Copies of this chain bind each other. A is one copy, B any other.
């Protein structure tokens, strides 16, 4: 595929001076329009050593209005980055709507290096690229415009360029031993690059190969590609991503219907068992650090189902340095300007820690679905997006434990009444809660479908019969203990 970029393409000084002024004006105008748009632009810059990646980043900074463009160049991950899922350090840096983010040495750098070093089999490479495609698709479907640029250098061109840099005293420092080593295995690098590119050049995020030798040509070509893609998107509302083709799931409501909500536990039994479970849980959570794992607990359930009470029975057992509770309410404006998953990425625990989400990303297929905050195609797509997201968590050593707390409508009504008459609990109840009750059937159907679609074997929803608080809390703690023990055994 690199043939297209050869023979070397160049732009003379005259040609360059002729096109640049108009190009820059167009770029600035497009960027002005982008600022009011509802999508962000992600530019990836990868390619050959000596291919001019950082020079092009600099040119983009100069030609665009730097206030609304951020770039990040990635080297080896820091300790903190290694203590999080592999993609975490990219997620956090994703630009908000209206902005441009330039990623140099992006999530493609590591698979390429691993492949060149012979550490990735064909199968492993295919798995890696499938994950990358899923990640990019999630963002693209959410509106992100991808422009992926690969700077190519012919073998001779690379040698010429490295030699020229090494000859000039003021640029000698740029040429490293690693550069020469990579040059020696040029064919392997090119082969691996071609594989990577062909497996990740998708409709929603295609690659563009640019000849990197001539800096004028390269910078102008990169800028033009970005400009054209932005203009296209600004002028033509994007075709909404196709509706998800959701596989059928076995009658999703039965699981919830079948729950025996009459199960209960007497006070004495409860107190004995909860104390035992808390001691056991405390030990287990302490082990997270040694086992190089982290844990995420997700609590979903109807209003007044007892999420907060169950969470407190967990946190009371723990050293407060090891955990964090993240209650999910309305997003801030920074959060609203990003992909809906971004605000959860912000709060992922590092290795050794536990994070408890009191409501979570499942809001997308629950409240946002029922209340119409998300369009049908959006929430339908979300099942897959969430499954992908959780798979990244699992891969990085997260023990993911998800609960759905189920109460009957009668019990919910009882609790609402109790709240309404207890001044210390009245704040918990709002007119919205009563409205939600009217849509109980829709919430129930949404919950059932969520449970059916988002319960892979390694991250199932645990359904908790929650009419009796004692029973529910013991079941929650027991599940957490069992799941942690199972994770430590494996």
The answer to whether A427 and B325 touch across the interface, beta carbons within 8 angstroms, is no
Quick one: closest B residue to A69, CB to CB? B327
Q: Assuming the A-B contacts A21-B423, A315-B61, are A78 and B75 also in contact, with contact meaning beta carbons closer than 8 angstroms in the complex?
A: no
The 0/1 profile, CB within 8 Å of B marked 1, for residues 104-116 of chain A is 1100000000000
Chain A, interface size category, equals 35 or more
Find A312's partner among B58, B172, B276, B324 (CB 8 Å cutoff): B58
Min CB distance A326 to B, Å, is 9
The 0/1 profile, CB within 8 Å of B marked 1, for residues 41-63 of chain A is 00000000000001101100110
> Is the CB of A282 closer than 8 A to any CB of chain B?
yes
| CA of A21 to CA of B426, assembled, Å | 12
The answer to whether A66 and B321 touch across the interface, beta carbons within 8 angstroms, is no
The answer to whether B78 and A321 touch across the interface, beta carbons within 8 angstroms, is no
Find A170's partner among B174, B278, B423, B427 (CB 8 Å cutoff): B278
Q: Assuming the A-B contacts A61-B312, A312-B58, are A320 and B21 also in contact, with contact meaning beta carbons closer than 8 angstroms in the complex?
A: no
The answer to whether B66 and A105 touch across the interface, beta carbons within 8 angstroms, is no
The 0/1 profile, CB within 8 Å of B marked 1, for residues 325-338 of chain A is 10101001110000
| CA of A170 to CA of B477, assembled, Å | 14
> Is the CB of A4 closer than 8 A to any CB of chain B?
no
Stretch at the interface among A24-32, A362-370, A376-384, A457-465: A24-32
Q: Which residues of B contact A468 (CB under 8 A)?
A: none
> Is the CB of A19 closer than 8 A to any CB of chain B?
no
Quick one: closest B residue to A312, CB to CB? B62
> Is the CB of A275 closer than 8 A to any CB of chain B?
yes
Quick one: closest B residue to A326, CB to CB? B70
| CA of A75 to CA of B353, assembled, Å | 12
> Is the CB of A294 closer than 8 A to any CB of chain B?
no
> Is the CB of A308 closer than 8 A to any CB of chain B?
yes
